[in-house]
Structure 1
Amino acid sequence: MNYRLEDEDEDTRVDETPDTPPAGKAEQLFFKSRNVIITGAIDDKLARRAVTQLLALAEDSDDPINVFISSPGGHVESGDMVHDIIKFIRPKVRTIGSGWVASAGALIFVGAERENRYCLPNTRFLLHQPSGGIGGQVSDLMIQAEQIRIMAERFHKLFAEATGQTPEKIAEDTRRDFWLTTKEALDYGLLGKVISSVDELA
């Protein structure tokens, strides 16, 4: 469709076509690929974006969804949100680690069943105790400390179920930063398979 700018002659017409702009085409192709990318710090904005994509893809079809993760971690409850939605929706979700999968990023990673957890060859994993900033009056300190204790117990149970380890072992291993190579993650039950190509996805 042609639009004429006022007070301009025929040579200054602006041609506009109804074609989808390149950015829009890229988004459509990305949606059709059924891939979700989670990178950087985990916060409420990232969680909202990831969950929106997961729910939209689940509504679109029951075909598998790939969630690529490279994250240093972040807000635990935001990680919980994505973790729970991965389990909630009907399509099979495959989590694929790349770079590093740490803390709340690892929480999202184990939202998939073990056989659907993959990583690329140079991925590192980090598990550690959940933490939080504590401040305020003594009564508030006690409440916050109790909430961290409850969160830690839930963390131990969740990762025990995801890996086949006991909650006690998870608690012991994560007293300090617990780094794992891909081989160690496989042996620990955190990871299902190391892959180098998309063709290796089951």
Structure 2
Amino acid sequence: MPLGIPKVVFQGPGDEEPDCNRLYNLRFLFLCQELDYEKAAQLCSLLVNFTVEDPKKEFFLFINSPGGALIPGLTVYDFLRTLGPDVNTICMGTAASMASLLLAVGTVSKRIAYPGSRVMIHEPEASKFTASMALTVKEAEELAYLRQRVIDTYKKHTIQSQSRIESDLERDTFMTAKQALAYGIIDKIAYSVDGLYQETLDDLTAEERDLDIEHNPEGLDWS
């Protein structure tokens, strides 16, 4: 189910509520495609609307996304960080690029991935920032600022050092669910929908915490 605003918001007497609206009313939101400015605006508007309705009821953001544009991703990040309710982030497939950052921003102890999930982190791409062959001085400065902001964000929401994050962001860095748990991007691996069977950092062996993670030197497309 991709991100979107429910097409039917109000029902008349006796009307049955559409399934998609039931999910939204439960505050179940889905990011299941690439994030751009339009989708970021839709998601932020839903977050604001739900917070106005009930400033304490938590959100559930389900993620299966290859990522997307940097600025829209940081916009959603800021909204998730500044709104009052807790945010449960759940990776149910792929959380790559900006989607991995949104996965990490969930409330501590409420960041979850399913066992088969894959997470990928990398630094902001200059090719998405400018279409020219060479960056201007201003563009280079802005890109450096955004890169540092991404580094600071991962440092804030994971348990890794800045030097480790900088190194891992230099190329596509892939993680299994257990590696994402050891990295600090998630807090739990869920083995059942009800959450009764789960794995936390304390359950990992010393070898699993070693973080022998896989890089992608060939720059393969992982969308």
Query: Fold conserved (TM > 0.5)?
Result: yes
Amino acid at match of 2:151: H
Distance 1:189 1:136 in 2: 36
Distance 2:169 2:141 in 1: 18
Distance in 2 of aligned mates of 1:89 and 1:74: 22
Return the alpha-carbon distance in structure 1 between the equivalents of residues 51 and 195 of structure 2: 23
| 1:171 corresponds to 2:166 | yes
Query: 2 CA distance for matches of 1:120 and 1:50?
Result: 23
1:36 is paired with a residue whose SS is strand
| Deviation sequence 1:61-89 (CA, Å, 0-9, x none) | 22221000111011111111111111111
1:63 aligns to what?
Answer: 57
Structure 1's unaligned 5+ residue stretches are 1-16
RMSD over aligned Cα atoms:
2.2
Whether the 8 Å contact between 1:84 and 1:111 is mirrored in structure 2 is no
Task: Report the more deviating stretch, 156-165 or 25-34.
Answer: 25-34
Q: Give the Cα–Cα distance (whole angstroms) in 2 for the partners of residues 52 and 198 of structure 1.
A: 28
**Partner residue, 1:106:** 100
User: Aligned partners of 1:18 and 1:112: how far apart in 2?
Assistant: 37
**For the pair shown, which has the larger CA radius of gyration, 1 or 2?**
1
Partner of 1:189: 184
Matched to 1:129, the amino acid is: E
**How many residues are aligned here?**
183
TM-score (norm. length: structure 1): 0.82
Which residue number corresponds to residue 38 of structure 2?
45
Cα displacement (A) at 1:132: 2.5
TM-score under structure 2 length normalisation: 0.75
Separation (CA, whole Å) in 2 of partners of 1:167 and 1:192: 20
Q: Distance in 2 between matches of 1:58 and 1:165?
A: 32
Number of the residue aligned with 1:152: 147
CA contact (8 A) 1:40 1:72 kept: yes
Go from structure 1 to structure 2 and tell me whether the alpha carbon gap of 1:160 and 1:28 turns closer, same or farther (over 3 Å shift): same
| Runs of at least 5 residues in structure 2 that lack an aligned partner in the other structure | 1-11, 199-223
Aligned to 2:74: 80
CA drift of 1:135 comes to: 4.6
Matched-pair identity in %: 26
